[in-house]
Structure 1
């Protein structure tokens, strides 16, 4: 007759054997591939833009996303009556939080980074300012939060020819095409004079947008020579220093390059969308990485 210890040992061995039978693994089966995350198209495009402009001698500058109305509007020569200052366009913080007569808000563009850079650094200045910005708008091509890239050059004897060459070089590198034609249309921005909207030549082949040629035109960014009042507001002498600035939506650049149709999908967090449009986290962020590389 078995004793207690023998029965306990037998019971434990029985349980172990039963568990081994249930947990049997067929070592001849192929290994399941690891599920890897992907780099968001916006992050990919930011890396591409930084790479392009680094080759052109631009540094990356950053600034706070919570700004005051002086840096966001006044220093940029935006008058009190400008529609951009209205409550329905800008996310303001309560007036009770204002300091020294300046209200706080979520920045509506990355232009305040230009102001802060001009006030803290001595020219010559060559920067790009990528980052999140906020405006009260939402549809297929607008979201309350989106990403913007702005560029600024401040130096002596700067003119529109420098701006044109910079933008042509940037567009050719970003879209990876040599046949690029830009069209500068006179426009108005409070912070530049003269100002110009920039269109790029394109075509529609089989319903697909292709950058290059002159069959059609597509607006891609705004630009101009920095207004003397903006330069003076930053403590520089506009008689000695001149410059140009430009701005483009990073999300829209990604849509144009990689064939996306709805801006809102960028922020939905849909894993299926990210898997399709995302980039390999192990690939070097070059311009030829490709969708789903």
Structure 2
């Protein structure tokens, strides 16, 4: 106990000599002596070490010390009050800080607009996994093993035997819907896809697609053309130049590609349109009978059409963006340009 009394005497001398220079010094004093882990609380915790016959005596000493520490703090309380008044002073006549609005990514904006256009035509949304098996990504779509059309897509494989891969097209989601067997089918399947391509102004190792599928009795190529004509006019305007040209896809027969006049160069030729004045925006065709049969649909009774487009390509044309890489570089200066398009 004698040692504790000597400590208290030393603390009293320290308190007597203390004169704070400001509110910060006073706060440090409060923490040191009166805080929850301060000296006063610690000394009261030592009471259990004091012999029972001297607890009353030591208690009186502790109470006097506590009152001394508190009195010193209250002596300079005006420093604390002045600091609080200064902190709480707000000039309500000042203008408010501007509230910065975020922007939706241009890919998201165009994706949403594509969805809205096709929803008005009765299409619903179907989504699927980005990690796919070989059947849904290739074989069911009339691309059996060693089919030369597989070379058109340089694929990221996760494992072999069995084959698991990052999907190269959202057609895999269409296969899953067809396998469910609920006819008729009228869906679009938006999502991200992956291909091992050299990154450039026109290509990337990942991009976004929207693919469409319509299966019912007596669906014709004329239905396909009118659907896509409507889409282009809604997306780009009534006077957009359009052309169809024959093409090849293993999952459609007959197949075609749809081009529009390049908005970036106005048809005069640039790096985006490869100096042709036309830009391919989608591939399409009538669903191949083997694809229908692979998915358990009778090709003698049902027909259908399918189409697929890259959202980046549509966005580049709509907003006249010349480099596809801008979409994934997260440059705020680029993204802020689309604030007014929300």
Q: Deviations over 1:201-239 (max 9, x none)?
A: 356459899xxxxx9432111111111110110111111
Range with bigger deviation, 106-115 or 200-209: 200-209
Are the counterparts in 1 of residues 242 and 258 from structure 2 also a CA contact under 8 Å? yes
Question: Matched residues in 2 for 1:13 and 1:271: separation?
Answer: 48
CA offsets 1:114-146 (integer angstroms, 9 cap, x no match): 111111032211000000101111222212111
The structure 2 residue matched to 1:13, chosen from 71, 78, 84, is: 78
CA 1:205–1:233 in 2, change beyond 3 Å: closer, same or farther?
Answer: closer
The one of 248, 271, 282 equivalent to 1:188 is 248
User: Which residue, out of 191, 203, 216, partners 1:131?
Assistant: 191
* Alignment correspondent of 1:197: 257
For the structure 1 residues 201 and 140, does the alpha-carbon distance in structure 2 shift closer, same or farther, using more than 3 Å as the test?
A: closer
What is the TM-score with the length of structure 1 in the denominator?
Answer: 0.83
Aligned positions, number: 270
Identify unmatched segments of 5+ residues in structure 1.
Answer: 210-214, 280-289
What residue ranges of structure 2 are gaps of 5+ in the alignment? 1-67, 271-275
Contact 1:226 1:244 in 2 (8 A): yes
Deviations 1:35-66 (A, max 9, x none): 33211111111211111101001010011111
**Structure 1's 119 and 37: CA in aligned 2 closer, same or farther, altered over 3 A?**
same
Structure 2 CA distance for partners of 1:267 and 1:223, relative to 1, 3 Å: same
Residue 269 (structure 1) aligned with residue 330 (structure 2): yes
Q: Please say if residues 163 and 244 of structure 1, whose CA atoms lie closer than 8 Å, have aligned partners that are also in contact.
A: yes
RMSD: 2.8
Task: Name the structure, 1 or 2, with higher relative contact order (CA <8 Å, separation 6+).
Answer: 1
Regions of 4+ moved over 3 Å? 3-7, 18-25, 82-88, 201-209
Kept after mapping to 1: 8 A contact 2:181/2:296: no
Please tell me whether Structure 1 or Structure 2 has the larger radius of gyration of its CA atoms.
2
Match of 2:290 among 229, 236, 251: 229
Which residue of structure 2 lines up, in the alignment, with residue 158 of structure 1?
Answer: 219
SS of 2:248's equivalent?
Answer: strand
- CA displacement, residues 70-98 of structure 1 (integer Å, 9 cap, x when unaligned): 11011111142345645981111122xx4
Change (3 A) 1:160 1:139: same
Structure number having the greater helix percentage? 2
1:154–1:243 Cα contact (<8 Å) kept: yes
- Residues of 2 paired with 1:205 and 1:228: CA distance? 39
Q: 1:223 to 1:205 in 2, by over 3 A?
A: closer
1:69 deviation in Å? Answer: 0.7
Q: Partners of 1:23 and 1:36 in 2: how far apart? A: 28
Contact 1:84 1:90 in 2 (8 A): no
Whose strand fraction is larger, Structure 1's or Structure 2's? 1
C-alpha change, 1:20 and 1:104, in structure 2 (3 Å) is same
| Superimposed CA distance per residue, residues 136-166 of structure 1 (whole angstroms, 9 cap, x where no aligned partner) | 1122221211100000010111111100000
Q: Is the 8 A contact 2:243 2:260 kept in 1?
A: yes
Q: Secondary structure at the match of 1:223?
A: strand
